[in-house]
């Protein structure tokens, strides 16, 4: 499917979800100041990106469902030679209308006046309530002005509806374009993780590996999908460690949680491997246990299953293994009822993945029931084990070890496809990848 066609199809789906007589406003992302008059690199808003491929700020998508007529209206920056000299090319209003097949398009510079006209006649207004506070305030002010003209025959919106849950439901099921982008992100991530395995050794620093991965992400795609975690030794025990600036030591493991984005679609992958290239006996025991849990969870994935069931499976395999290793005493059934695993495995097993690394899809339906998996959904499966240095319940040989293994799984009609299966994770494959050579600049 052409990407432009996919955007129009998503807009149409959303338009059909709106109550008749509604208008939906989806603003583009904004520039964020980094320091004085410099900005962070622009990142398009995910809701806007899902509905329209325009990579510009100062833009607004308006969807109107009024009197049985569905309209797509676009606001974007006008062409301006001086502004484009400083900040790069703009698509311009006419070209944007044509390229994105919009019914109407207007300059963003006077969006307030035009939007005030467009709002008239609609009863309900849909916006994402969880973002764009400044824009929301400006829209409320327009609505207030309109409400003062009480004698006007046509209504102006008096009901606000949150758009986020609607878009969350749509974004949960990826179309073929989105799946293609996620596969591209996974390929880039594969090259970067293989590169990391080949490069890491004692004497190198976490920042060397981090920089090499960033380079590979940028060379082959659109950079990282989130701040990478490159954690040698006990740094892996800090779940959101992003300092990435310590020396790597022989005898330690290194946990890397890093994924590329492609066309803003994320991958999210964790691998853990020995700095020396060879797992010790204790590392191997724990690694194999996490790997068994991860593989057992992945095999469960298919239509109808829930993330809760997958998490319970991770817990079962990990608990059984911890009992066999003598780290826990008691029975599996006892520990399934208590909280003992949380001490060593404090996070969830899965989340949705897409334009956002923690994608915005719902986890429960309107009755509070867990959402069942369906073809087109993409989730992570990422069990781990973390043994704190000061935890006296842990035999000293395991203290300081943190392991997580994470893949990106697409739900299919028959079960699943592991989008990140090519990234080594079996012990033999990982040791081979650690022993291999990599050429960064080619």
The token duo for 75 is: 């606001």
In the list 42, 135, 136, 226, the residue contacting ligand GLY (rule: CB under 6 A) is: 226
Q: Quick count: other Cβ atoms within 10 Å of Cβ 118?
A: 19
The single residue of 34, 249, 347, 364 carrying the catalytic annotation is 347
* Residue 409 Cβ vs ligand GLY, minimum distance, rounded to whole Å: 13
Residue 268 appears among annotated catalytic residues: yes
Is residue 382 a contact residue for ligand GLY (CB under 6 A)?
A: yes
Is residue 257 a contact residue for ligand GLY (CB under 6 A)?
A: yes
Q: How far apart are CA 354 and CA 264, in angstroms?
A: 9
In terms of residues, how long is the chain? 442
Nearer to ligand GLY by Cβ, of 56 and 382: the residue is: 382
Q: How far apart are CA 73 and CA 106, in angstroms?
A: 8
Within 325-413, where are the H helices? 332-337
Distances (CA, A) of 139 to 132, 282, 313: 11, 60, 47
The token duo for 56 is: 């510009």
CA 31 to chain centre: 20
Residue 132 appears among annotated catalytic residues: no
CA 319 to chain centre: 29
The token duo for 205 is: 């620093």
The partner residues of 397 in beta bridges, in order of sequence, read: none
Residue 257 appears among annotated catalytic residues: yes
Q: Quick count: other Cβ atoms within 10 Å of Cβ 173?
A: 15
In the list 380, 381, 402, 423, the residue contacting Mn ion (rule: CB under 5 A) is: 380
In the list 178, 268, 313, 356, the residue contacting Mn ion (rule: CB under 5 A) is: 268
Stretch that binds Mn ion, among 60-68, 75-83, 86-94, 376-384 (CB under 5 A): 376-384
* Residue 242 Cβ vs ligand GLY, minimum distance, rounded to whole Å: 10
Is residue 357 a contact residue for ligand GLY (CB under 6 A)?
A: yes
Q: How far apart are CA 280 and CA 288, in angstroms?
A: 12
Considering Cα of 48, then 53, then 54, then 55, what sign does the dihedral take?
positive
Residue 406 appears among annotated catalytic residues: yes
Residue 240 appears among annotated catalytic residues: yes
Rounded (10°) CA dihedral 152, 154, 157, 159: 100
The single residue of 265, 287, 345, 386 carrying the catalytic annotation is 386
Stretch that binds Mn ion, among 81-89, 159-167, 180-188, 375-383 (CB under 5 A): 375-383
Is residue 268 a contact residue for ligand GLY (CB under 6 A)?
A: yes
Map the footprint of ligand GLY across residues 391-410, applying CB under 6 A.
Answer: 406
Print the binding letters for residues 331-370 with Mn ion: x by CB under 5 A, - otherwise. Answer: ----------------------------------------
* Residue 273 Cβ vs Mn ion, minimum distance, rounded to whole Å: 15
Catalytic residues: 37, 240, 257, 268, 347, 351, 358, 382, 386, 404, 406
**Under the rule (CB under 5 A), what is the footprint of Mn ion?**
257, 268, 380, 406
């Amino acid at each position: 499917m052409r990407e432009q066609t996919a955007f129009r199809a998503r807009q149409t789906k959303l338009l059909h979800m709106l109550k008749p007589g509604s208008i939906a406003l989806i603003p583009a992302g904004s520039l964020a100041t980094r320091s004085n008059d410099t900005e962070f690199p622009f990142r398009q808003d995910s809701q806007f990106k899902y509905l329209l491929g325009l990579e510009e700020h100062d833009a607004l998508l308006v969807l109107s469902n009024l009197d049985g007529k569905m309209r797509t209206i676009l606001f974007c920056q006008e062409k301006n030679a001086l502004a484009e000299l400083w900040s790069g090319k703009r698509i311009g209003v006419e070209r944007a209308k044509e390229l994105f097949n919009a019914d109407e398009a207007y300059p963003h510079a006077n969006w307030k006046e035009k939007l005030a006209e467009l709002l008239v006649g609609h009863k309900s207004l849909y916006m994402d309530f969880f973002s764009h506070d400044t824009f929301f305030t400006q829209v409320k002010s327009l609505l207030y002005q309109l409400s003062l003209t009480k004698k006007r025959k046509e209504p102006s919106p008096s009901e606000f509806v949150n758009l986020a849950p609607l878009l969350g439901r749509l974004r949960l099921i990826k179309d073929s374009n989105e799946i293609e982008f996620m596969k591209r992100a996974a390929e880039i991530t594969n090259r970067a993780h293989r590169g990391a395995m080949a490069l890491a050794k004692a004497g190198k620093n976490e920042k060397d590996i981090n920089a090499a991965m960033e380079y590979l992400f940028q060379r082959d795609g659109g950079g990282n999908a989130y701040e990478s975690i490159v954690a040698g030794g006990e740094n892996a025990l800090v779940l959101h460690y992003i300092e990435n600036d310590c020396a790597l030591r022989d005898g330690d493991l290194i946990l890397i949680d890093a994924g590329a984005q492609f066309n803003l679609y994320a991958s999210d992958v964790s691998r853990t491997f020995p700095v020396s290239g060879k797992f010790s006996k204790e590392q191997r025991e724990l690694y194999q246990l996490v790997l068994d849990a991860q593989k057992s969870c992945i095999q469960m994935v298919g239509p109808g299953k829930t993330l809760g069931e997958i998490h319970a499976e991770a817990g079962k395999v990990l608990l059984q293994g911890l009992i066999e290793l003598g780290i826990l005493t008691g029975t599996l059934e006892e520990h399934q009822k208590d909280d003992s695993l949380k001490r060593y495995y404090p996070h969830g097993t899965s989340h949705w993945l897409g334009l956002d690394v923690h994608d915005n899809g719902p986890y429960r339906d309107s009755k509070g029931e867990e959402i069942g998996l369906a073809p087109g959904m993409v989730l992570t499966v990422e069990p781990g084990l973390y043994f704190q240095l000061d935890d006296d319940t842990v035999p000293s040989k395991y203290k300081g070890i943190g392991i997580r293994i994470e893949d990106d799984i697409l739900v299919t009609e028959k079960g699943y496809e592991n989008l990140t299966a090519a990234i080594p994770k079996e012990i033999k494959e990982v040791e081979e990848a650690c022993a291999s050579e990599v050429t960064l600049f080619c």
